Amino acid sequence: REALELAVRHRLTPRAVASVLGLEPVAARELLAAAACEVERTRAALAVVETAGCPTVARLTGDHQVLLSAALRRELVRHVDDCPRCRRAAERVDAAGP
Protein backbone atom coordinates (compact mmCIF):
# COMPACT_ATOMS: atom_id res chain seq x y z
CA ARG A 1 0.00 0.00 0.00
CA GLU A 2 2.81 2.38 0.89
CA ALA A 3 4.61 1.66 -2.38
CA LEU A 4 1.47 2.36 -4.38
CA GLU A 5 0.83 5.58 -2.49
CA LEU A 6 4.39 6.75 -3.14
CA ALA A 7 4.08 5.96 -6.84
CA VAL A 8 0.59 7.35 -7.43
CA ARG A 9 0.04 10.10 -4.92
CA HIS A 10 3.62 11.35 -4.78
CA ARG A 11 4.44 10.44 -8.40
CA LEU A 12 7.68 8.68 -7.54
CA THR A 13 9.37 6.44 -10.07
CA PRO A 14 9.84 2.76 -9.20
CA ARG A 15 13.54 3.51 -8.57
CA ALA A 16 12.62 6.30 -6.13
CA VAL A 17 10.04 4.04 -4.43
CA ALA A 18 12.79 1.44 -4.04
CA SER A 19 15.07 4.00 -2.46
CA VAL A 20 12.42 5.24 0.00
CA LEU A 21 11.44 1.71 1.02
CA GLY A 22 14.98 0.34 1.09
CA LEU A 23 14.29 -2.18 -1.69
CA GLU A 24 16.12 -3.23 -4.81
CA PRO A 25 14.60 -1.53 -7.89
CA VAL A 26 13.45 -4.89 -9.28
CA ALA A 27 11.65 -5.68 -6.02
CA ALA A 28 9.95 -2.27 -6.07
CA ARG A 29 8.78 -2.80 -9.66
CA GLU A 30 7.40 -6.24 -8.75
CA LEU A 31 5.67 -4.80 -5.68
CA LEU A 32 4.13 -1.98 -7.72
CA ALA A 33 3.00 -4.41 -10.44
CA ALA A 34 1.34 -6.65 -7.84
CA ALA A 35 -0.31 -3.64 -6.20
CA ALA A 36 -1.61 -2.39 -9.55
CA CYS A 37 -3.06 -5.83 -10.24
CA GLU A 38 -4.87 -5.83 -6.88
CA VAL A 39 -6.22 -2.34 -7.52
CA GLU A 40 -7.60 -3.51 -10.87
CA ARG A 41 -9.15 -6.63 -9.31
CA THR A 42 -10.76 -4.47 -6.62
CA ARG A 43 -12.08 -2.02 -9.22
CA ALA A 44 -13.61 -4.91 -11.15
CA ALA A 45 -15.18 -6.33 -7.98
CA LEU A 46 -16.71 -2.96 -7.12
CA ALA A 47 -18.06 -2.62 -10.65
CA VAL A 48 -19.71 -6.02 -10.23
CA VAL A 49 -21.44 -4.75 -7.07
CA GLU A 50 -23.13 -2.14 -9.25
CA THR A 51 -23.85 -4.23 -12.36
CA ALA A 52 -23.95 -8.00 -11.90
CA GLY A 53 -27.18 -8.56 -9.99
CA CYS A 54 -25.63 -11.63 -8.37
CA PRO A 55 -27.37 -12.93 -5.23
CA THR A 56 -24.05 -13.72 -3.53
CA VAL A 57 -22.77 -10.19 -4.14
CA ALA A 58 -26.06 -8.81 -2.81
CA ARG A 59 -25.65 -10.93 0.32
CA LEU A 60 -22.04 -9.78 0.80
CA THR A 61 -22.76 -6.10 0.33
CA GLY A 62 -26.32 -5.63 1.59
CA ASP A 63 -27.14 -2.29 0.04
CA HIS A 64 -24.85 -0.65 -2.50
CA GLN A 65 -23.43 1.77 0.07
CA VAL A 66 -20.44 -0.48 0.62
CA LEU A 67 -17.75 0.28 3.18
CA LEU A 68 -14.96 -1.76 1.67
CA SER A 69 -13.06 -3.39 4.50
CA ALA A 70 -10.04 -5.53 3.69
CA ALA A 71 -12.06 -8.68 4.47
CA LEU A 72 -14.98 -7.65 2.24
CA ARG A 73 -12.59 -6.70 -0.57
CA ARG A 74 -10.98 -10.15 -0.38
CA GLU A 75 -14.39 -11.86 -0.42
CA LEU A 76 -15.63 -9.81 -3.37
CA VAL A 77 -12.45 -10.34 -5.40
CA ARG A 78 -12.51 -14.07 -4.65
CA HIS A 79 -16.19 -14.23 -5.58
CA VAL A 80 -15.61 -12.46 -8.91
CA ASP A 81 -12.83 -14.96 -9.64
CA ASP A 82 -15.12 -17.92 -8.84
CA CYS A 83 -18.53 -16.79 -10.15
CA PRO A 84 -18.95 -17.04 -13.95
CA ARG A 85 -21.76 -14.45 -13.95
CA CYS A 86 -19.72 -11.89 -12.01
CA ARG A 87 -16.55 -12.64 -13.96
CA ARG A 88 -18.42 -11.89 -17.21
CA ALA A 89 -19.79 -8.67 -15.71
CA ALA A 90 -16.28 -7.62 -14.67
CA GLU A 91 -14.95 -8.40 -18.15
CA ARG A 92 -17.70 -6.28 -19.72
CA VAL A 93 -16.78 -3.39 -17.45
CA ASP A 94 -13.09 -3.83 -18.33
CA ALA A 95 -13.91 -3.83 -22.04
CA ALA A 96 -15.93 -0.63 -21.68
CA GLY A 97 -12.95 1.11 -20.06
CA PRO A 98 -12.75 3.42 -17.05
pLDDT, tens digit, 9 for 90 and up, residues 19-51: 999 999 999 999 999 999 888 888 888 888 877
Split into its structural domains, the chain has a count of: 1
Which residue would you say has higher pLDDT here, 81 or 64? Answer: 81
pLDDT at residue number 65: 61
Percent of the chain topping pLDDT 90: 35
CB-count exposure of residue 21 (10 Å: 0-12, 13-18, 19+): middle
**What pLDDT score was predicted for residue 23?**
95
Give the range of the structural domain holding residue 30, as residue numbers without chain letter. 2-96
DSSP 66: -
At 98, is the pLDDT very low, low, confident or very high (cuts 50, 70, 90)?
Answer: low
